[in-house]
Structure 1
């Protein structure tokens, strides 16, 4: 016994209360009178009608979740009935509400089991008659070493220093989980790998502040196959401060699972529309969404919010406080940003700030953009996703002719992925009411003797209008770091046509991609296209 107390006392010095000294295993001492100094009396009271211990009869996570939800709803109804009939004092109501789901320890003076007394939320408002009582031998040093709850109980909660009995009152549904938890505190092991039972033990460990068991349950749950249902459940577990830190790896794994499963948001849009808030947040936090552009992300969020929150006030609150920060406004097109300012679903002040931040980011130099990306790495708003269409920066002029200057940046690895015959397209940009785009290619030169880098300007097919466009392609080069014109020309566009150069830099692909290439600055290729259009003319009819 002396050895147990010394080992446990050394652990208590750790303020985390979560690590047992060394690799010591006290399984031999569990419920043994020879190695125990106190008796724990566990009073098991009736829960809601027809309730079963959580995990019992639950073959899957979904069964567990439905059962927990039903039990919480039954408890809430029972509370309301008692409040209506007894009309207790307001202070008492607040006290009970503030201690929701907390465990209550009682000192056994003359336990009769007949009188109701303060208990946790799981039994408040239901029949308090005892179903059964369990008494087990415990070592106060071991339990105190693993749990701040028991440490406080044994150091401050006993009426007399030589008091040997303490009582816990729990609901019938918590019995199996509590016994697993107590066994774990001695052995560091659990006797189950069933997800519903592990979740019950996890909840009990949080209730009695056993962080090491929370971490253990979290690790075991992560090792089990995950589904959309289980991932959402892990994200929505009722969480205390201690629970949040102990199950962080589990919640991170759940977020990663959802982000990977639904990264093609166009393919799974119907399913995504039915996900709860925690699910949509996990998806929007990902950098790897397979999405055309951030404009599509914005449209998806707006559609989801309108479906899930029909009331404008609630929708504005969710978009302003939760989902708005996950939209990466700096990578949206200017046309869509204008629509953000006019959108009534987002608070005007919040929308204005988001659009201004986005425009300032677009106007920054590439170096400053990289600095901002690092500084804002937590909420990721300046981090570019893996868009299908590359974002561009566009500067527009109306006078003396409609004109725009378009900047397209491609990383070295993106260029490398184009070999031997790949293409990458930019987001659409508009001039004179018509949509255009840039496309970068890896193709063979005109003599088919080597691969090279090409750049093309295309017009989206729309309407029976022709545009005569003066265009210029330029690229930034080292060491001057200035844009150097590569080609100039003019072209009359009709719907679906494109113009460009198969070998923009007049060098083979290997020279373009070489380490000493003139065209990559800090691993980024900077391209510029300048377009000026003359008066649109209708196509001749044949």
Structure 2
């Protein structure tokens, strides 16, 4: 049978040369040290065991492991430890952190190595199982920086034929599968738990191509809540987190999509660990009334999982506050942020101050700041998206309030073109609530039929939140920004006496059909945004009745 020299990725395949003396220049001796059985999780396959046992078992100080690969050399019966401090007797024979220990032998000794332990003054020695594999140093070095360093570290012994790795018993099968992959580019066992073991081995020996292949296979499996949480733990349990970025991104999307509506009670959402909550709160597509809801949810979750006030303050300040988009919270809620004892005062003050400065910026400047922060987030995984607006049920507004000579407020509402397009044929969108003289109001944009029922058109209404028996008169004015001047042009003004729950407005604010309003050359969409303004004034404050 002719050998197959290619594999699905298009790269040449050397499967025929794996463990073949005819195509190998070295022998890899694998010393298998007995150890505790590997802790695996069935979470990937939908089993009931904990999804964090696997990831937690592999957590180690990777920053130390990756500083420089250790190469230990047998020379004249002694172990030469290069670029490392002296090691006490017995320590060199152990692989405490699960790191890869590589050794080059000058020549085979003929004697099997042994593992000895001294307990209560007696010496107990037992032979260590050894597996020998024929390898090509060129193939392994091309696929793995670890093996490249091993075979080119400048020592005389690097030219010798035998190299030795010492591993735990639980690592044998994943390592053999990894070595085979470096030749063939494929895996023979694709069970979920085994793929995770191979992924760990590929990370240890720096075989990025295998890590990406494992991630691709895992992504093709049906994802569950437990498996998604397990994948999010990978970044903490391996060193090359970028190699599994596609898998962790898929896990984040899964959790964000399954728990996107924070306005409804959802089974299990309050039981999610921190990594799950971070995945949800980082989503742009949360279905929430406003950012106030996100803030309240984060507080509720933190109080449940971190009853200790200091721990709660630390988690909120260092992890969750970065995911709350304070610039889109209402001013009333921002005032509560400043006095919340769950938050570090410095963190709360900084967040509120940045939010208020953002709110004070004109719309074009806000858009520039959001774009700059978004670009920074794409280039730096540690950056947040605090200036990026979510798909809120109630659209954020900017409010300027005056107390004299009459209670007055000016409200600015921006709607994107795609948001307006989504209103057709009978939709509506509401603004966040704003307050005038203690009473709550809101704006609502509608797609209506005109009074004659001839065409669809854009309407804007002012509503009062129903709050008992309140009745008072408000002067109002609606305006919109239009080209070419770019100024806010008054459309309608009038006076209206509100009672609880009533609203006033205009079915066709611009006096044109919907198709003309939404046309590509429409003068009302400046840079794809419709800018609206409502000005309210109470000239008879004595009519205001508090509830």
Q: 1:169 to 1:116 in 2, by over 3 A?
A: farther
Q: Report 1:154-233 matches (<5 A).
A: 154-156=151-153, 160-233=157-230
1:271 aligns with 2:259: no
Q: Report 1:145-156 matches (<5 A).
A: 145-156=142-153
Q: 1:334 to 1:538 in 2, by over 3 A?
A: closer
CA contact (8 A) 2:28 2:163 kept: yes
Q: Which structure 1 segments of 5+ residues have no match?
A: 1-6, 8-18, 74-88, 118-126
Question: For 1:524, which of 523, 529, 537 is the aligned residue?
Answer: 529
Report the counterpart of residue 415 of structure 1 in structure 2: 420
Question: For 1:68, which of 29, 36, 54 is the aligned residue?
Answer: 54
Residue 52 of structure 1 and its aligned partner are, at CA, apart by 5.3
Distance 1:397 1:95 in 2: 75
After superposition, what is the alpha-carbon deviation per residue over 1:386-436, rounded to whole angstroms, capped at 9, x for unaligned? 111111111111222221111111112211221221111111111222211
Residue 227 of structure 1 and its aligned partner are, at CA, apart by 1.2
The DSSP-based 3-state class of the residue aligned with 1:209 is coil
Distance 1:359 1:98 in 2: 54
Report the counterpart of residue 258 of structure 1 in structure 2: 255
Distance 1:150 1:293 in 2: 53
Distance 2:529 2:193 in 1: 50
CA contact (8 A) 1:478 1:521 kept: yes
Question: For 1:446, which of 447, 451, 458 is the aligned residue?
Answer: 451
Q: 1:95 to 1:311 in 2, by over 3 A?
A: farther
After superposition, what is the alpha-carbon deviation per residue over 1:42-69, rounded to whole angstroms, capped at 9, x for unaligned? 2222222xx2585899965664846536
Distance 2:125 2:448 in 1: 79
Question: For 1:505, which of 482, 495, 510 is the aligned residue?
Answer: 510
Greater alpha carbon shift after TM alignment, 141-150 vs 374-383:
141-150
1:424 aligns with 2:429: yes
Q: 1:538 to 1:410 in 2, by over 3 A?
A: closer
CA contact (8 A) 2:445 2:460 kept: yes
1:406 aligns with 2:394: no
CA contact (8 A) 2:44 2:226 kept: no
CA contact (8 A) 2:46 2:224 kept: no
Residue 165 of structure 1 and its aligned partner are, at CA, apart by 2.1
1:535 aligns with 2:532: no
Residue 354 of structure 1 and its aligned partner are, at CA, apart by 1.4
Residue 506 of structure 1 and its aligned partner are, at CA, apart by 2.3
Report the counterpart of residue 3 of structure 1 in structure 2: none
Distance 2:8 2:137 in 1: 14
Distance 1:32 1:415 in 2: 67
Distance 1:57 1:395 in 2: 52
Residue 369 of structure 1 and its aligned partner are, at CA, apart by 1.3
CA contact (8 A) 1:39 1:138 kept: yes
Report the counterpart of residue 12 of structure 2 in structure 1: 24
CA contact (8 A) 2:114 2:128 kept: no
Report the counterpart of residue 80 of structure 1 in structure 2: none
Report the counterpart of residue 97 of structure 2 in structure 1: 100
Q: Which structure 2 segments of 5+ residues have no match?
A: 60-84, 118-123, 378-383
Residue 107 of structure 1 and its aligned partner are, at CA, apart by 4.1
CA contact (8 A) 1:209 1:242 kept: no
After superposition, what is the alpha-carbon deviation per residue over 1:118-142, rounded to whole angstroms, capped at 9, x for unaligned? xxxxxxxxx9955632122112222
Alpha-carbon RMSD across the aligned residues, in angstroms, is 3.3
Report the counterpart of residue 4 of structure 1 in structure 2: none
The DSSP-based 3-state class of the residue aligned with 1:160 is helix
Corresponding pairs, count: 497
Distance 2:424 2:537 in 1: 32
Question: For 1:45, which of 12, 15, 33 is the aligned residue?
Answer: 33
The DSSP-based 3-state class of the residue aligned with 2:541 is coil
Distance 2:491 2:544 in 1: 31
The DSSP-based 3-state class of the residue aligned with 2:366 is helix
Distance 1:339 1:252 in 2: 33
Distance 1:20 1:37 in 2: 27
- Taking structure 2 as the reference length, the TM-score comes to 0.83
Report the counterpart of residue 477 of structure 1 in structure 2: 482
Q: 1:292 to 1:62 in 2, by over 3 A?
A: same
CA contact (8 A) 2:203 2:238 kept: no
Report the counterpart of residue 85 of structure 1 in structure 2: none
Q: 1:235 to 1:95 in 2, by over 3 A?
A: farther
Q: 1:166 to 1:375 in 2, by over 3 A?
A: same
Report the counterpart of residue 340 of structure 1 in structure 2: 337
The DSSP-based 3-state class of the residue aligned with 1:247 is helix
Distance 1:278 1:114 in 2: 43
After superposition, what is the alpha-carbon deviation per residue over 1:211-256, rounded to whole angstroms, capped at 9, x for unaligned? 1111111111112111111111111025577521211111111111
Question: For 1:465, which of 463, 470, 473 is the aligned residue?
Answer: 470
CA contact (8 A) 2:55 2:237 kept: no
Q: Report 1:262-411 matches (<5 A).
A: 262-267=259-264, 269-377=266-374, 378=377, 379-411=384-416
CA contact (8 A) 2:42 2:49 kept: no
Report the counterpart of residue 84 of structure 1 in structure 2: none
After superposition, what is the alpha-carbon deviation per residue over 1:166-204, rounded to whole angstroms, capped at 9, x for unaligned? 222211211111110011111111002211111100000
Distance 2:440 2:504 in 1: 15
